[in-house]
Amino acid sequence: MRFPDTLTRLHALTKADNLGLGLVVLGLVLQAGSVAAALKLICVWLLLLLSGACVSQLIARNTRERESRP
């Protein structure tokens, strides 16, 4: 939490989003009971990947424009 500005913090956040959750899901998939359950877990991860990507783009732009204005 010692990153100097919002954009770098965003950078750190996306790591947690993508990689952290990905690893958690990977671990859980290995011990999931059924193929369907495993697929569902992967779906959750994919969904977060997608939404995370979109949202971080949005926030980044929002930040850049906010900071370039004043």
Q: Which residues in the 2-61 window bind other proteins by CB under 8 A?
A: 6, 9-10, 13, 16-17, 20-21, 24-25, 28, 31-33, 37, 40-41, 43-44, 47-48, 50-52, 54-59, 61
**Dihedral sign, Cα of residue 36, residue 40, residue 41, residue 42:** positive
Min dist. Cβ of residue 24 to other proteins (A)? 5
Instruction: Give, in degrees to the nearest 5, the angle at Cα 43 between 37 and 49.
Output: 145
User: To the nearest whole angstrom, how small is the minimum distance from the Cβ of residue 3 to other proteins?
Assistant: 10
